[in-house]
Every structure is written in C-alpha cells, then in structure tokens.
Amino acid sequence: MSLTWRPLTLDDMPRLAETFAAAELVDPIHEHHSAEDLAEVMSSPNVDLPTATTSAWDGETLVAYGLLRRRDAANPAHMVRVETLVHPEYRDDAIAAHLTAWFEETGKEIHAKSFPDAPLELHAATNTRQRWLTDVLVGSGYAHARWIVDMRADLGAIPPVKPLPEEFPLVAYDEKYEELTLRSRNETFADHWGSTEQSPEAWRHLVVGGKDFQPDLSFLLLSPSRDRVVAMVLSVFFASDAAATGVKDLYVSHVATDAGLRGRGIAGALLGHTLVEAKAKGFQRASLNVDQDNSHRALGVYERVGFSEYQRWAGYVKPVPT
C-alpha cells in the first residue's frame, strides 16, 4: 500500500473527524468529534501544525494522524504529549513503524527548541478498548505508568449535597478571575503525575476561553479577601457528544482545592453544588476523569458525590535520549 504522508492543515479537519468516527465504531471510547472541535485542538498554542503533526492519506481518505504537543514547562522532564489514531482498515506494521519513528525524531526536534537541557519523555494514553494502539506503543518501548479512570454521575440520582463553607465567597466563573484560576490550577496540580505548569495562553485557549467552556456551571470559592481562588470546579459541554448520544453530559475538566484546606470536604461540596446546578439547567449526566493513584485521594471524593467508573485509560511513557 502506498500512502502519502504530510503535516495536517486546518482544512483537513472534516476528514479527520470522519477517521475518528470510523475508529469509534470499532473501538468505542465514547468520544465524538466535529471538525470544529478538532480545529480548536489543532489551533492550540502548544501545537505547531507544520512541524508537530503528520498524517497519512490514501487518495482523499485520511487514514492516520500523529500529533506532538509540547509542554509549557519541564519539571524536571519535558513530557511531550503523543496523540494519534489510525483508521481500523489501515492498521498494519508499516504504518505503526512510521508513526512511532516519527514520534521520536520529531519529539527530539521539538524538545531541542524548547527545553534542550531537560530529559525528554514521550507520554501517550490508550483506552483499554484500543488494543492495537496499546500493542504498538508497548512494542516500541513505551512502559505502562498510570491508570486514568473515566467516571460518570447520573444527575437524577446524586447524593445529598453537603453545605459549602460560609467563610469563602461562592462565585460563578468570570473573566476577571482568569489569572486567579490559573494560579490556583498551577499550584494545586503541581504534584499531579504528568502535570506541568500551564501558560496563560494555553489556559485561555484550552480551558477558560474554549468554545465549550461553561462559565455559568463553573464555580469558585474565593478567599475572604477575594484575592485568591481557594477551590474551583470548571465545566465543559461537548455538543458533539450530545448530538451523537442524545445525552446532555457536563464534563468536569478541573477540580482543585488549596493544599491547606484539603480534608475538609470542600471539593466534594463544591462539586456537589455544581451537579445540582447542572441538573437544574437540564443536564442528565456529569463526567470527569481522575488518576487512580491521585495523591489527594480524589477518586474517593468523586465516588462520594455520585460518580462511578465506566472506562479506563492507560498512561504510557517512553524516555528518549537526546
């Protein structure tokens, strides 16, 4: 088979959406992407389309893609994100070898331009249903490092909500809190596995400025002087998923609490408040994902407010000499 390889462009997003849809039929991971969704991802400040993407074409059919997402910091390693997908009808050793070699060579080039003095690691994730991709990664030297759990909550059956602490003002997200929420995110996620500091540009594009962000269902607890975010729950609504499934699902993208306030049930109370508000606005379900070995015992927090596991992802890491 002769394939044409080239970087992706934004004009390719309708074809890439078709490839995702074809893969979902074979490896159902409960994700549905429109061309607009994918264009937003590809326009991230952490992605350079001409140098950090590749795609394989069989005539007019996009049969595979690869993307490397550089990070905003290296602490201590530069953990470059690997994202990829191959159409089910084109999964063979040749395409696997091309992609895995491209990840390493291009990863080195990206790394040399950003954090050349830090160690380089390639980080990838596969759903347990994506067996072919898992075998490709393991076969090329990626080692299993973590389990990531996807969880859902039926908003028609959530437990009673605990009261929020009165000393911290509750507000819905507003642009004036953008800097404060980023500071809170970077501080509270600093010890999370695979996490690095996020830049203001990436925070705005990927989170609070994204087209699917729901400010009215994103809540903050402020310090009494209102100069810090001491806890937050940020939420997203993916219209493409709702169109495909018929279920209005609120995706909780961030849950954070200041280190000094952990153990008081604040995260659970704020998340429970968010679920109640989401139900009132017509949402039927909420979802999120969590590191199974999260050092803050977040898995238990989410279970207590009504979430339960429905699928898993494996995190894989490959150190690359530079």
What's the whole-number mean pLDDT along residues 308-320? 97
What's the whole-number mean pLDDT along residues 261-280? 95
Query: What are the pLDDT digits (tens) for 74-133?
Result: 989 999 999 999 999 999 999 999 999 999 999 999 999 999 999 999 999 999 999 999
Could you tell me the pTM of the whole model? 0.95
Residue 157 has a pLDDT of 95
Helix axes 35-42, 13-26, angle to 10 degrees: 110
What's the whole-number mean pLDDT along residues 12-25? 98
> Would you tell me how many other CB atoms lie within 10 Å of the CB of residue 261?
15
Q: For residue 270, which of 302, 239, 247 has the smallest C-alpha distance?
A: 302
Residue 299 has a pLDDT of 87
**pLDDT-derived band at 259, boundaries 50, 70, 90:** confident
CA angle 13, 126, 199 (to 5 degrees): 65
295 pLDDT higher than 70: no
Determine what percent of the chain is predicted with pLDDT higher than 90.
92
- Give the distance from CA 146 to its chain's centroid: 15
- What number of CA atoms fall less than 13 Å from residue 110's CA on the CB side? 31
**Phi, psi at 316, each rounded to 5°:** -120, 145
Fill in the amino acid letter for 195.
S
CA angle 152, 156, 157 (to 5 degrees): 75
> Would you tell me how many other CB atoms lie within 10 Å of the CB of residue 305?
23
302 pLDDT higher than 90: yes
Residue 176 has a pLDDT of 97
* Inter-CA distances, 137 with 8, 93, 124, 164, 201, Å: 22, 12, 8, 44, 31
Question: CA–CA separation, 147 vs 248, rounded Å?
Answer: 26
What's the whole-number mean pLDDT along residues 19-33? 97
CA diameter of the chain = 66
Residue 100 has a pLDDT of 98
Question: CA–CA separation, 173 vs 157, rounded Å?
Answer: 26
Task: Write out the H or E segment, with its range, that includes residue 300.
Answer: helix 298-304
Query: What are the pLDDT digits (tens) for 214-245?
Result: 999 999 999 999 999 999 999 999 999 999 99
Residue 143 has a pLDDT of 98
Strands 249-257 and 61-69: unpaired
Question: CA–CA separation, 186 vs 300, rounded Å?
Answer: 22
What's the whole-number mean pLDDT along residues 10-37? 97
Residue 192 has a pLDDT of 81
CA-based end-to-end distance of the chain: 33
Question: CA–CA separation, 30 vs 268, rounded Å?
Answer: 25
Contact predicate 108/52, CB 8 Å: no
What does the buried/exposed string (b/e) look like for 60-94 if buried means 16 or more CB atoms within 10 Å of the residue's CB? Answer: eebbbbbbbbbbbbbeebbbbbbebbbbeebbeee
294 pLDDT higher than 80: no
142 pLDDT higher than 90: yes
Q: For residue 304, which of 262, 267, 278, 276 has the smallest C-alpha distance?
A: 267
Contact predicate 288/307, CB 8 Å: yes
